[in-house]
Amino acid sequence: MALIGGAVFFTRDNSRESDLGEIASIEMVDGKQIINMSAKGGYSPRIVNAKAGVDTIIKMKTEGTFDCSASLVIPEISYQKLLSPTGVEEILISKDKAKGTMQGLCSMGMYNFQIRFN
């Protein structure tokens, strides 16, 4: 039994865990923080560390996205939209809202991401 359990542990799919370690592409342009993310089968990266108190734009890229991650909700900024299957949606976050932890999720709550403003 221990051998089977060990084999399952070491051969399981760790792709979800690796999503947590992916580093977001963040750049400063004209005094605004740009966070590049993607939506397809979930959101990537799942955790973003960003600077607090700065006007922020999330550039959410879709490419053949037909799953529920296309239905994006960000409660803290009252954002709710069905994203285009392919393209880039720019989501504005004012500097007064860019604080603490902001959660984004699909309308079903299956997929989510966090932006941690520090």
- Reply yes or no on whether the pLDDT at 11 is more than 80: no
In a domain, 104, yes or no: yes
Counting the structural domains of the chain, the total is: 1
Range of the domain at 35: 23-117
pTM as predicted: 0.80
Encoded tokens for 80: 């709710």
Residue whose entry in the numeric block shows the structure tokens 């792709």: 15
In a domain, 9, yes or no: no
In a domain, 13, yes or no: no
In a domain, 3, yes or no: no
In a domain, 66, yes or no: yes
CATH number (domain holding residue 77): 2.60.40.420
Task: Give per-residue pLDDT as tens, 20-52.
Answer: 446 778 999 999 999 999 999 999 999 999 999
Report which DSSP code applies to 68: G
In a domain, 43, yes or no: yes
In a domain, 100, yes or no: yes
In a domain, 40, yes or no: yes
Question: What does the pLDDT read at residue 10?
Answer: 39
Q: Work out the pLDDT band at 12, boundaries 50, 70, 90.
A: very low
- Angle, CA 56 vertex, CA 51 and CA 62 arms, to 5°: 115
Residues of the chain with pLDDT > 70: what percent?
Answer: 81
Task: Give per-residue pLDDT as tens, 63-77.
Answer: 999 999 999 999 999
- Of residues 72 and 16, more confidence is placed in 72
d(CA 17, CA 28): 28
